[in-house]
């Protein structure tokens, strides 16, 4: 597991419903092109949560772009609407970016509320060859933009990490024995995948993309797409805070943090460029806390931000290994809750916390998000998702400072809280897990 698969540079509005399906569709299409077999048509059936909230999460357009050969990290978000319009107007699809084939969206892109047995986010791709034979592949979007092919063992990677860990207890004991920080362990493991300077450059790009997303979000105006008529608020809020002058009022700190998270998630809802951190729905938490660190903490800067991100990654790996970051499996505790936990740990590390204090910060960050449901109104990543990111960012800062006021000792371990999140997610009814069949999604009328 690598930082390059935890922090994915993609587009909004959803990592599991937009980024994952686009990657799966692209892999399927490119596989067909590389095989050299003449393809007459392709079809995709979206299952379960992908069908129930697919249109609100732009899963339909993501699949079209993926089949046309686009990956989330190389598509220009501003160009995407024109590419989609051309496919729909011409009724033809440049399969894998290569030969054009007939494609009728109402026939070839289907929505089925039936859940595949392997995961709530399932896709079935089918190709009909010119000789009438068929090729079928089933993909699962397992959270954070990651995908798996059902029934297919992932390829074995000839990489041996020097400091593997499966639990927080194991990570803490290993770091104590080796005189390492959590960030050191991740950094040395990443060196098994690539040169250390390359990983540093990747994390610098992650930081730059996060901050660029904040800046774009601060300039956005008008209503967000989707029909809820949600107005973008970040620009007006930014202007108001600037008009108040120097940031001397202590309460202004929290307003700025909320603003930065708001800006990112409005940009995400508009389909802009974001970083899965660890998901799109929770993409605003870590950037807001990172900007807080560099803006309000004396000595905060890019070097400390690397430490922040390496540490946050260690915590993110634990959630992916021991539970899930998919809202379709865990509810929003698996998205905003995990992002809060990661950000709290990262900030505690950047502020000089010990390994025990960092683990405590991560635990506090999740403990107070347990049971958080995923109930987006209209299937859109807007209400309550955008504001939830502001709350997650504030909680993360609070958790970091609470942990730093202690000596690292605490009753509930991070492993215990991750297991509790997993059990809570499994017990949670499906209507509260990214299906828009319960919670706010049914108690507030979508206009």
Give the mean pLDDT of 154-176.
91
Q: Indicate whether 204 pLDDT > 80.
A: yes
How far is residue 399's CA from residue 393's CA, in Å, rounded to a whole number?
10
pLDDT tens per residue across span 115-149: 999 999 999 999 999 999 999 999 999 988 999 99
What residues does each domain of the chain span? 15-149, 168-432
pLDDT tens per residue across span 323-377: 999 998 999 999 999 999 999 999 999 999 999 999 999 999 999 999 999 999 9
Q: Assign domain 168-432 to its CATH architecture.
A: Orthogonal Bundle (1.10)
pLDDT for the residue 99: 87
When pLDDT is cut at 50, 70 and 90, the band that residue 154 belongs to is confident
Which has the higher per-residue pLDDT, 1 or 366?
Answer: 366
Average pLDDT, the chain: 94
Give the mean pLDDT of 14-32.
95
Give the mean pLDDT of 413-423.
98
Q: Indicate whether 430 pLDDT > 90.
A: yes
pLDDT for the residue 26: 97
Structure tokens at 445: 């009328």
How far is residue 67's CA from residue 219's CA, in Å, rounded to a whole number?
32
pLDDT for the residue 248: 63
Q: Indicate whether 446 pLDDT > 60.
A: no
State the CB neighbour count (10 A cutoff) for residue 352: 11
Q: Indicate whether 199 pLDDT > 90.
A: yes
- Are 336 and 286 contacting, i.e. CB atoms less than 8 angstroms apart? no
pLDDT tens per residue across span 285-322: 999 999 999 999 999 999 999 999 999 999 999 999 99
Q: Assign domain 15-149 to its CATH architecture.
A: 2-Layer Sandwich (3.30)
- Are 283 and 340 contacting, i.e. CB atoms less than 8 angstroms apart? no
Q: Indicate whether 4 pLDDT > 70.
A: yes
Q: Indicate whether 447 pLDDT > 50.
A: no
Structure tokens at 441: 């999604």
pLDDT tens per residue across span 84-127: 999 999 999 999 998 899 999 999 999 999 999 999 999 999 99
How far is residue 233's CA from residue 256's CA, in Å, rounded to a whole number?
13
Lowest mean pLDDT of 156-160, 202-206, 355-359, name the range.
Answer: 156-160
| Distances from the Cα of 139 to the Cα of 25, 47, 126, angstroms | 9, 10, 11
pLDDT for the residue 445: 66
Q: 298: burial class by Cβ within 10 Å (0-12, 13-18, 19+)?
A: exposed
The beta strand positions in 199-347, using DSSP E, are 273-275
- Are 359 and 318 contacting, i.e. CB atoms less than 8 angstroms apart? no
**Residue 111 bridge partners (DSSP):** 46
pLDDT for the residue 155: 73
Rounded to the nearest angstrom, the gap between the alpha carbon of residue 153 and the centroid of all alpha carbons in its chain is 24
pLDDT for the residue 247: 64
């Amino acid at each position: 597991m690598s930082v390059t698969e935890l922090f994915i540079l993609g587009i909004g509005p959803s990592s599991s419903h937009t980024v994952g399906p686009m990657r799966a569709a692209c892999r399927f299409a490119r596989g067909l092109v590389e095989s050299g077999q003449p393809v007459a048509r392709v079809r995709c059936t979206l299952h379960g949560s992908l069908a129930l909230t697919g249109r609100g999460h732009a899963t339909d357009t993501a699949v079209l772009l993926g089949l046309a050969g686009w990956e989330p990290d190389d598509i220009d978000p501003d160009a995407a609407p024109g590419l989609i319009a051309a496919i729909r107007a011409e009724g033809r699809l440049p399969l894998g970016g290569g030969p054009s084939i007939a494609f009728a969206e109402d026939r070839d892109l289907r929505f089925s509320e039936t859940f595949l047995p392997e995961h709530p986010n399932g896709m079935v791709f089918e190709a009909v060859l010119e000789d009438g034979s068929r090729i079928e592949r089933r993909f699962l979007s397992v959270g954070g933009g990651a995908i798996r092919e059902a029934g297919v063992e992932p390829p074995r990677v000839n990489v041996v990490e020097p400091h593997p860990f499966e639990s927080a207890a194991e990570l803490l004991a290993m770091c104590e024995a080796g005189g390492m920080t959590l960030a050191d362990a991740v950094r040395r493991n990443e060196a098994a995948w690539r040169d250390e300077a390359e990983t540093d450059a990747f994390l610098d790009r992650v930081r730059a993309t996060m901050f660029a997303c904040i800046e774009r979000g601060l300039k956005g105006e008008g209503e967000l797409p989707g029909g809820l008529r949600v107005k973008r608020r970040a620009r007006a809020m930014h202007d108001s805070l600037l008009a108040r002058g120097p940031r001397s009022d202590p309460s202004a700190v929290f307003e700025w943090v909320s603003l930065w998270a708001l800006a990112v998630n409005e940009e995400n809802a508009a389909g802009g460029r974001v970083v899965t951190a660890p998901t799109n729905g929770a993409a605003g938490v870590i950037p807001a806390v990172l900007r807080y660190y560099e803006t309000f903490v004396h000595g905060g800067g890019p070097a400390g931000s690397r430490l922040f991100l390496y540490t946050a990654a260690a915590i993110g790996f634990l959630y992916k290994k021991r539970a899930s970051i998919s809202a379709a499996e865990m509810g929003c505790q698996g998205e905003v809750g995990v992002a809060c936990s990661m950000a709290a740990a990262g900030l505690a590390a950047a502020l000089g916390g010990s390994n025990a204090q960092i683990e405590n910060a991560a635990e506090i960050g999740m403990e107070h998000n347990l049971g958080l449901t995923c109930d987006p109104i209209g299937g859109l990543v807007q209400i309550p998702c955008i504001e939830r990111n502001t709350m997650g960012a504030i909680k993360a800062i609070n958790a970091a400072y609470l942990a730093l006021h202690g000596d690292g000792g605490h009753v509930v371990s991070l492993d215990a809280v991750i297991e509790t999140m997993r059990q809570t997610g499994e017990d949670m009814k499906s209507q509260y897990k990214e299906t828009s069949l319960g919670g706010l999604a049914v108690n507030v009328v979508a206009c």
